[in-house]
Amino acid sequence: MPGAWLSADQKDAFVRDGFMKVSGLVPPEIVSSTRAAVATELGIDDADPATWAGKPTTAGDAWKVTLPCWTPAIEAAGRELVGPHIASGPKISPYLEGIGADPWIEGYIPVLRYPDGGEPVFGPVPTSYHVDGARFVTLWPEELYLVVFVYLVDVKDYGGATVVLPGSHRQIFEHWVGHPEAAETKAPELAYRDPLPVEGRAGDVIFMHYLCAHSSSANHDRNIRYGLNGSINVDREHPYKRRPGPPAADWTPMDYTLRTDTLNG
Ligand SMILES: O=C(O)CCC(=O)C(=O)O
């Protein structure tokens, strides 16, 4: 049923802030079995820090155990943000491509933040932010629509939360629209709103606009922050169509974020 997964407030938040968090898209038993499967793949015992030493932060090889977390509800919620046409099946992981591995994956790349020690307080505030882009960063959505980041454990603001710059998607769009060749992974230096560490519960899903600047952050909790990085991609058979002029009744939240009628000049 259209509109079944996201509230009007969540869609408004996506348009305004460039990200929002949704609960209930992945069944709890799948969240915990996937966390356990990622740990097993990496030879990690959550109760034994000695087994964490030397383990990767970005665990590309472990993508195979993540597919159960790619649920129909996640795709349905994604369609509510970008419209009916999204890519299905295997996707190219820019991360795996970048390290010269077989880049085709289904599901997600696990991203772990190991405890850094220190007081249970958020900080240091990241100083460098990026947009994921896919294989190349583009002003208009050519490959990537949404970053889909799933927490597999409860995450406090100080516990390795993903940090976003609210509103950056629109600022970056406006900044690059006059010179799209400038688009790159590193977020441009602009007067952003304050960085926001996104707290969440196990199973929460953060949907980020493809131009939403974000960063990882230090983990001052005692447990490993398990996250999954996936994406909703453009269906090549149905490329994104730009929407000129003022909003129309059939505009998606994504269309609103890319409106051009309010641009200065
Ligand atoms: O680990 C995180 O919280 C964010 C990771 C990140 O920046 C990314 O996956 O692009």
CATH number of the domain that residue 187 is part of: 2.60.120.620
Q: 62-110: per-residue pLDDT in tens?
A: 999 999 999 999 999 999 999 999 999 999 888 888 888 898 999 999 9
By the 10 Å C-beta count (0-12 exposed, 13-18 middle, 19+ buried), 75 is classed as middle
Domains in the chain, number: 1
Distance, CA 197 to ligand 1 centroid (Å)? 12
CA nearest neighbour of 71 among 138, 140, 150: 150
Q: 117-128: per-residue pLDDT in tens?
A: 999 999 999 999
Q: Is residue 87 part of a domain?
A: yes
Q: Which amino acid is at 141?
A: P
Q: Is residue 2 part of a domain?
A: no
- Which ligand 1 atom is at minimum distance from the Cα of 132? 10
Give the burial string for 183-214 (b: 16+ CB within 10 Å, else e).
beeebbeeebeebbbbbbebbbbbbbbbbbbb
Q: Is residue 1 part of a domain?
A: no
The secondary structure of 172-223 as a DSSP string is HHHHHTT-GGG--SBPP---PPPPEEE-B-TT-EEEEETT--EE---B-SSS
The residue range of the domain holding 116 is 8-257
Q: Is the CB of 258 under 6 A from ligand 1?
A: no
Roughly how many angstroms between the first and final C-alpha of the chain, as a whole number? 40
Q: What percent of the chain has pLDDT over 90?
A: 88
Q: Is residue 193 part of a domain?
A: yes
Task: Measure the CA–CA gap between 30 and 106, rounded to whole angstroms.
Answer: 16
